[in-house]
Structure 1
Amino acid sequence: MHNRPLADLVHHRDPVTLPPDATVQQACEKMREKRVGCVVVVAEDNRLLGIFTGRDAVCRIGAECRDPRATTLREAMTHRPVSLPPGAGALDALRLMQDGGFRHVPLVREGRVVGVVSRGDFRAIEHARLNEETSLWERI
């Protein structure tokens, strides 16, 4: 099976980005509006600072009873998330997500965000290939 580049998965997609001083409320509204599972937190020059996901909203805001209108992304985001270059392979990204226990990976070129890939972006055949590889390693 071909390990297609991640850039093929995010063709013509602009990642949802916000600055670190945006509120969790703003991030959640943007995620709902755009129907995405994460917001990439960037500096003014589009450099990756962090990522804020639905899981962060539940675990860091909801579970701690924090006010989403008064909490900034700087306080609630995952700092320095794992990222990949857009030329990385799809299976590499799936392995990374599986091993790390997360569902979104920012794509970064020369320090700047150029996209985001999520588990849902992959074809069933790529998921099947990863499961096949994982099963093989578990038997060794």
Structure 2
Amino acid sequence: MRKFSVVTLQHHPITMNEAASVTEACDQMRARGPGSVLVTGQAGQLVGIFTGRDAVCRVLAQRLDPSRTCLADVMTRDPKTILPDQTAFEVLRLMAEGGFRHMPMLKNGKIVGLVSRGDFKGVELNPDHEECDLWEHLH
């Protein structure tokens, strides 16, 4: 049976410097659709991830001003990452175990993509995949 590569699911992420404001990040998420922004440091390396959940729980619920709050102050630092050669089912399992909806994809330390939980619609139910029963064990 074939392995379903996670590379087929990835899309190009929004990346922003950690000094960018929450407002800027939310504007980009609204304009481009994904529910997260990958946050980079001065050298362009991944330092965090900012999600819609972070916007609600760490900014709005804390009554912070999104235009004056930088991503570095409210992002999830050092997010777990995946590699391009991992299977979709390995990534699905990592997401379930960690409670993640988004996982950055790195290759040689460089950001090459982002996989979202929503990218897996229908994948876990496809009987052609050798790992098809994994989904049943995750619930």
Counterpart of 2:54 in 1: which secondary structure? helix
Q: Which residue of 2 is the match for residue 84 of structure 1?
A: 82
2:28 matched to 1:7? no
Structure 1 residue runs without a partner (length 5+): 136-140
C-alpha contact 2:96 2:138 (8 A) present in aligned 1: no
Normalized per residue, which structure has more helix?
1
Percent identity of paired positions between Structure 1 and Structure 2: 43
The residue identity in structure 2 corresponding to 1:52 is F
Q: Cα distance, 1:132 vs. partner? A: 2.1
What corresponds to 1:41 in structure 2? 39
Match of 2:99? 101
Question: How far is 1:133 from its partner?
Answer: 3.3
- 1:32 maps to 30
Structure-1-length-normalised TM-score: 0.87
The number of aligned residues is 133
Query: Does 1:71 find its partner at 2:75?
Result: no
Residue 133 (structure 1) aligned to one of 126, 130, 137: 137
| Structure 2 spans left out of the alignment, 5+ residues | 127-131
Q: Normalized against structure 2, the TM-score is what?
A: 0.88
Partner-residue secondary structure (3-state), 1:91: helix
SS in 1 for 2:4: coil
Where does residue 21 of structure 2 map in the other structure?
23
Structure 2 SS opposite 1:30 = helix
SS of alignment partner, residue 103 of structure 2: strand
